[in-house]
Structure 1
Amino acid sequence: MTEITRRNFIATATLATGFALAVQPVSAKAIATDTQGLVAGAVKIPVKDGEIPAYRAQLNTGGNFPIVLVIQEIFGVQEHIQDVVRRFAKLGYLAIAPELFVRQGDVAKLSNVDEIRSIVAKVPDAQVISDLDATVDWAVKSAKGNATRLGITGFCWGGRITWLYAAHNPQVKAGVAWYGRLVGNDTELTPKHPVDVASILTVPILGLYGGKDTGIPLDTVEQMRDRLKSSSSKSEIIVYPDAPHAFFADYRPSYREREALDGWQKLQAWFKQHGV
């Protein structure tokens, strides 16, 4: 796969249709949310160096919608993430998931997870943060979004970004991070991690983690909890003891219905509690 250069990514960037190749076959438990009563589909978000594709959904009547940024897993803004966006829209939100890897490559068309990880590893946090700022701006100016009721949620890779973006943008009212990595090596592309920003966090974040997640050791979860004690954010972390990584991903074998449904209910309550 040839890396998409900044000169040509605008022309080649498209949103995924269906599920990513790397997650086939798709589980029969995959949830399918319809578009009845919604405006839903691909949009283009103007960013510093062009535009990026995104998937948005909102009710087809009304306005002044609370905004939810939905942040992708490593598999991109594929059907599962698009379905989550529609679920939020059915609840009355303007939900939007920008494709945050598009400059580095099209992960939805890759079947090899190692190739996907090599693309994701090239994505700078600064680029992601800037693109999310642009997405919020678009939601307010072009889609009847209410800037004073902004929430964020993300899964896996997107869970980590949820913590980082909330630290960057104190205008976020609340966030929910699903099994996002909390520690890591400091590099030029990833200079900080959630544990590094926890103590200065002012936005309340609910972290949802799995006790049997082999990629996120529980000692790092406890380290994050300890750091959060010195913040003013009143953030919380819940660990589901028997859940593996990606327990919300209903299209994958890792799905755990009981924990996923409980987490979804807790997310809604968290957003309501904090004004999203």
Structure 2
Amino acid sequence: MQRGGLQHDGSGDGAAPAGEAGLSGLVTPPLSRRGFVMTSLMSGLTLATTRVEAQVIRTDSDGIEAGEVRIPAQDGPMPGYRAVPEGPGPFPVVLVIEEIFGVHDYIKDICRRLAKAGYCAVAPELYARQGDLSTMTDVQQIVRDVISKTPDAQWIADLDAAAAYAGSAAKGDLGRLGVMGWCRGGRGAWLYAAHRRDLKAAVAWYGPLGGQRSDIQPRTAGDVADELNAPLLALYGGADTGIPVASVEAARDAAKSAGKSVELVVYPEAPHGFHADYRPSYRKAAAEDAWSRALAFLKANGVG
């Protein structure tokens, strides 16, 4: 594999924008002629949850600007959510990578929480071309029909587009760029940290380190642990039955051996999704401690 940029098959110019190192082995198939299946974000919470918990956090918009936006992408406007403090800025940027459930109210609220902390937070709907997540109730269908069919090169390019949007139209300072991802988005945080050379910090919330490889998803998060371009904070649950702590420790050790920085925090009693306040998996003490650590980590590494 040749390193140094995304590989294209003619659907784009193949050039990586300034500041990006690129991951090897990523191929973007031709973009679908049907364009974006989702042209706007879903309202409310994902339908793919058994029940909505009473402890759902709802952050107001006082002192910030927040709402749905259209992000210029290769094949048209991509739906997304932006929250940013009031005032001229520029503000440090945090790209928010969704779970598998789309940019629903939980992800929007995370953006508002970040804006309250002084950040320009942008969450692009990375699965908008593959399916309408607002109508899906079955997790297995989401994984089979949407997640497994979304090329890594596609969503990485879309994150780059979201960063460019933040810097040009959303009062963002790309000299202070960070990324946070939850669940599948935690995997994305690892991969994006190995892709983007000018990234200052990454935070992965219980992202899987392994998993199946495919032509369009050729590398796992564990595969790229020794290629990180920025310090990464790994927040994981010791009671997560789907992500063995040993796999995260192995990734941390691989990063350390390569001279990279991964700070691992494991909450022994916390399950997968311990930050998701709308689900039964939510663990208030772990979620609040991890959030404080995440904000401190961003600031300590130049995103603040």
The AA in structure 1 aligned to 2:238 is G
Please show how residues 47-126 of structure 1 align to structure 2 within 5 Å. 47-118=73-144, 119-126=146-153
Matched, 1:233 2:260: yes
TM-superposed deviation, 1:104: 0.4
Q: 1:179 aligns with which of 198, 206, 209?
A: 206
Supply the AA of the counterpart residue of 2:252: R
After TM superposition, the structure 1 = structure 2 runs for residues 154-165 of structure 1, keeping only pairs within 5 Å, are: 154-165=181-192
Could you say which residue in structure 1 is the equivalent of 2:11? none
Partner AA of 2:63 in structure 1: G
Per-residue CA deviations over 1:59-85 (Å, capped at 9, x if unaligned) read 121211100001000110000000000
2:290 corresponds to which of 251, 263, 266: 263
Equivalence for 1:272: 299
Which has the larger displacement, 218-227 or 205-214? 218-227
Work out the CA distance in 1 between the residues paired with 2:241 and 2:300: 31
CA change 1:142–1:219 in 2 (3 A) is same
| Counterpart AA for 2:65 | V
- The match for 1:188 among 212, 215, 218 is 215
Deviates more, 1:227-236 or 1:29-38: 227-236
Structure-2 change in CA distance of 1:72 and 1:129 (3 Å): same
Post-superposition Cα deviations, 1:74-133, rounded to whole Å, max 9, x if no partner, equal 110000000000000011110010000010001122111111111111111000110011
**1:244 aligned residue (259, 264, 271):** 271
Q: Is the 8 A contact 2:198 2:229 kept in 1?
A: no
Structure 2 equivalent of residue 20 of structure 1: 46
CA distance in 2, matches of 1:83, 1:246: 16
- How far does the alpha carbon of each residue in 1:257-276 deviate from its partner, in whole angstroms, 9 at most, with x for none? 01000000000110110010
Asked if residue 37 in structure 1 is aligned to residue 63 in structure 2, the reply is yes
Asked if 1 retains the 8 angstrom alpha-carbon contact of 2:37 and 2:130, the reply is: no
Offset at residue 6 of structure 1 (A): 2.7
1:202-241 counterparts in 2 under 5 A?
202-241=229-268
Check conservation: 1:201, 1:231, Cα contact below 8 A: no
Aligned-partner residue type, residue 160 of structure 2: D
In structure 1, the gaps of 5 or more residues are none
Write the deviation string for residues 173-202 of structure 1: whole angstroms up to 9, x where unpaired: 001100000012221111111211111213
SS in structure 2 at match of 1:23: coil
Shift of the 202–11 alpha-carbon distance from structure 1 to 2, 3 Å rule, reads: closer
Which secondary structure does the structure 2 equivalent of 1:9 belong to? coil
Partner Cα distance (1:64, 1:267) in 2:
21
Q: How many residues align?
A: 272
In structure 2, what is the Cα distance between the partners aligned to 1:31 and 1:14? 23
Take 2:87 and 2:174, find their aligned partners in 1: how far apart are those partners?
18
The residue aligned with 2:21 is: none
Matched to 2:86, the amino acid is: N
Q: Does the 8 Å CA contact 2:38/2:129 hold for their aligned counterparts?
A: no
Secondary structure of 2:229's counterpart equals coil
Question: 1:177 is paired with a residue of what secondary structure?
Answer: strand
CA deviation vs aligned residue, 1:223-257 (integer Å, no higher than 9, x gap): 21221122333221111111100000011000000
Q: Name the CA shift for 1:12/1:116 in 2 (closer, same or farther; >3 Å).
A: closer
**Structure 2: tracts of 5 or more residues without a match:** 1-30
Q: Give TM-score, length-normalised by structure 1.
A: 0.95
Structure 1 residue 12: Cα displacement: 4.8
8 Å contact kept, 1:202–1:231: no
Corresponding letter in the other structure for 1:59: P
Asked if structure 2 preserves the Cα contact closer than 8 Å seen for 1:202 and 1:232, the reply is no
Q: What is the Cα deviation at residue 24 of structure 1?
A: 4.8
What displacement does 1:10 show?
4.0
